A and B are shown apart, each in its own frame.
Chain A
């Protein structure tokens, strides 16, 4: 395998497998972000194929991708705010890990969306914590990392949530140019915050272009804050890349059945992730 050096002042163009091999190590805290859109499935599948273990997986909405990583035994710990299959129901592999410890127990650190989003923003800002008006009166307070701070100006009591600083952030975008500048558009989620909060980052893209054509509302992440860029066409399916691919809602519904029992799940992963047969 080619060893890539990622110490350059601009993003290195890598193959997906080299990028994952270089950046994601056993025991790392890894954030694969994308809020219902641009979810980096191809990158997550590569993590599964490379057999990474003991990961601290960070993601606001674990979604099908983390259901798959958890079910394959890649995760020791999950930091999250909403663990459901949106509009469909449960994430069965996540539930099996929490309820029955299969394939092994999963430690949880649970937040609200407001808490998680602000934790990324604090990480991106290199602040130790973020301040929000939140978490008051509910049972999350006793179960997670949140503290109370007093506003020095008004005396109001507010919630403090610790900054997120993942070892690695992985996000998917529509395109990158040859210098590794990345542009994404549509629902922007927390991808920019995740990349800036993380120590190292990998961006997978639908396509590499000669020059980015800036789009109204587009989010550009300059290549010099990204470690590696890998081309992965269709890499957000069954999620989607706005304007280029469509969300496969039917697959999100079917996942409920596929993932319901351990054997069916493992067989599906064997065929479609290890065997790389595109799901129909």
Chain B
């Protein structure tokens, strides 16, 4: 089998993160692929919840949208949007949520709204959707983003979803019940919050990547663990299952 490319590594690392999760909230794209892969390889009992209101969906193919018919067809329950946010997201019934963003800062705050000024944006992005409340309420948030200084920035142009705010104690002051962005998976490695400072810290490096390369791709002076772990290379089982899944 050909070696995994950087995108496949991100997906496989994200799927491993779901080994012991019970309920996972997902949007479209790579997170959906990772969650379906996790169900097939690591955790067949994993409950997938899509924002469209499908709880316990069991897709066999990667959906293009969160509302594809297969999700409703295979779900344990299909609920309205008000119910999804009021009864399921808000009380913190979902353990793990995946979020993406155009920008992320050192405290895991996310921008998916605009690049540039809000009133006169350089790039108008889609906006928050469900993310602001998901980021506040879900047990933990996993961010998946390609590593570059354009994405990992010193200062967000707009705060769409709060991670650790301005540092220690911020989530508690805001009354958030969820644990925040515990894991940020990139194409170079994994960042996790320092338990004291809450600053995202390099804790894991993918194959062939060194810490300097990650620092160069980060827009703030990135802290690193003394000895970042090495990502276990994708197994044949993981990679085979992923490629089979994406070809369906």
Contacts and interface: CB of A to CB of B under 8 A. Distances in A.
Interface of A: 35-37, 60-61, 80-84, 86-88, 90-91, 94-95, 98-99, 110, 112-114, 117-118, 120-121, 132-140, 143, 156-157, 186-190, 192-193, 217, 219, 240, 242, 246-247, 249, 252-253
Contacts of B68: 36, 247, 249
Interface residues of B, number: 52
Contacts of A117: 80-82, 84-86
Contacts of B71: 187
Given A140-B132, A189-B81, A190-B81, 4 more contacts: A112-B129, A132-B85, A139-B158, A252-B65
B195 interface: no
Contact of A133 (B54, B82, B136): B136
A118 B82 contact: yes
A188 B160 contact: no
B6 interface: no
Contacts of A84: 125-127, 129
A141 to B, nearest CB: 9
Interface stretch (B147-155, B170-178, B215-223): B170-178
Contacts of A35: 52-53, 67, 81
A238 to B, nearest CB: 11
Contacts of B158: 139
Interface of B: 28-29, 51-54, 63-69, 71-72, 78-82, 84-86, 89-90, 113, 118, 121-133, 136-137, 158-162, 165, 170, 174-176
A137 B65 contact: no
Given A113-B85, A138-B159, A252-B65, A187 B132 contact: no
Contacts of B176: 136
B118 A36 contact: no
A136 B136 contact: yes
